[in-house]
Amino acid sequence: MTSELQYIELYNEASDLIKSKSCPVMNTVRDEAFATFQRLGFPSKKVERYRYTDVDAAFAPNYGISLSPLTVKPSAYIYNIQEAPIDVTPYYHRIADHTDAITALNTALVHDALLVYVPKNTRVEDPIVVDNWLRGTAATMMNRRVLIVMEQGADATLIINDHAADKQRFLTTQVIEVFCHDNARLDLYEIEETTPLCSRFSNVYIQEGRDCNVKHNSITLFNGQTRNLCDVYLQGENSEVTLNGCAIATGSQRIDNNTLIRHEVPNCTSDELYKYVVDDKAVGAFAGKILVEKDAQKTSSHETNANLCASSDARMYTQPMLEIYADDVKCAHGSTVGVMDEAALFYMRQRGIPEAEARTLLKNAFMGQVIDQIKYEPLRQRLAVKVEKRFRGELEKCDDCRLCK
């Protein structure tokens, strides 16, 4: 447990520089967040929510920290937080978990933040797309911060793509805070396609008011080590949340998804579906908790986690949890870890489909359930193709990257 030290030293040396590049709203919470990080240190595997990820090892290498300013193409709904059209004080670092060490470290080190702001009763027809490109000539640490504010009745689709352009070690920490006011609707897609050299720690916090509908889709197509945390707080009645996850891991990749859905008020609905395919020596982990508080009667909640272990060295950890303090609820979860259907494989081989092809078809069909949940048609089609390519091992060629062409 020594990895913290270099970050503590870094902050002590560079905090003035970071502050000078940042804005007051971010600087006011910075020192406190740093104190939290200093107190907590990186979570060990004994911390329940970090059981399956060795955080200390991931942060151990010596990374340079990127302080280049955030460039935002002029667009109607995306802003650099320093040019925010609204006062972000009531939003910034409000719902993020103040007891999480990764969130604290991000808050301390991040110098720039992206704001997605959709005003009252505005329906954004086309999806808002954010592309993150990891570029660098040396091992680099990026700290990303995104603030999403959906005012009453706002409606938008947001796609966040993660790419790595250079074959370099990258460490990313990311904190996304989503505020949905009453009647808002948001489809949020996070698609990761990086390289095996990348480590990603992403914490997403979503707060929903009354009659909201949020869909969060976390799609990990290609990565090194990924740890996604997603916390949803349902604070207004009749709200819905859907969490979808697709995780494909080969080689020695690691994917760890940790979700919490907290039903704080009655009459809310949550639906969660995460699917994993782990092959080679990859490790997959899923922990999802549904917490129904005392007065959250008439809650309906459903959680499913299905996993396919495709090789004998692959490992899968799954932990679907229910914590329920109200009696008039309907909550169910199911979790499976299994093998490919031998009968289906045999059927296909009988008809002349080679075994490898048959396995790919089955994996593809297995993941299809998650991809089918994607509402935005062009994205669904593109992802269906990508997932298939991924299973064929063709995705590494970064064919849709325009940087080096």
Report the distance separating Cα 176 and Cα 189, nearest Å. Answer: 12
Distances (CA, A) of 318 to 52, 278, 308: 10, 13, 12
With beta carbons less than 8 A apart as the criterion, state whether 140 and 66 touch.
yes
Report the distance separating Cα 63 and Cα 46, nearest Å. Answer: 26
What's the min distance (Å) between Cβ of 255 and other proteins?
Answer: 14
Cα angle, residue 127 at apex, residues 201 and 194 outer, rounded to 5°: 30
| Residue closer to other proteins (CB basis): 323 or 400 | 323
| Residue closer to other proteins (CB basis): 333 or 389 | 333
The residue assigned the tokens 């698609």 is 191
Distances (CA, A) of 158 to 98, 155, 320: 25, 10, 27
| Residue closer to other proteins (CB basis): 317 or 376 | 317
Q: Contact positions toward other proteins, by CB under 8 A? A: 48, 294, 297, 307, 309-339
| Residue closer to other proteins (CB basis): 191 or 260 | 260
Distance between terminal CA atoms of the chain? Answer: 43
Classify burial at 27, counting beta carbons within 10 Å of its beta carbon; exposed 0-12, middle 13-18, buried 19 or more.
Answer: middle
Rg (CA), the chain: 21
Report the distance separating Cα 288 and Cα 47, nearest Å. Answer: 15
Report the distance separating Cα 73 and Cα 66, nearest Å. Answer: 20
Q: Which two tokens stand for residue 67?
A: 């302080």
Classify burial at 390, counting beta carbons within 10 Å of its beta carbon; exposed 0-12, middle 13-18, buried 19 or more.
Answer: buried
The residue assigned the tokens 């409000």 is 94
Instruction: Quickly count: other Cβ atoms within 10 Å of residue 376's Cβ.
Output: 17
3-state helix, strand, coil in the chain (%, to 5): 25, 40, 35
Residue of 112, 116, 135, 153 whose CA lies nearest to 30 = 112
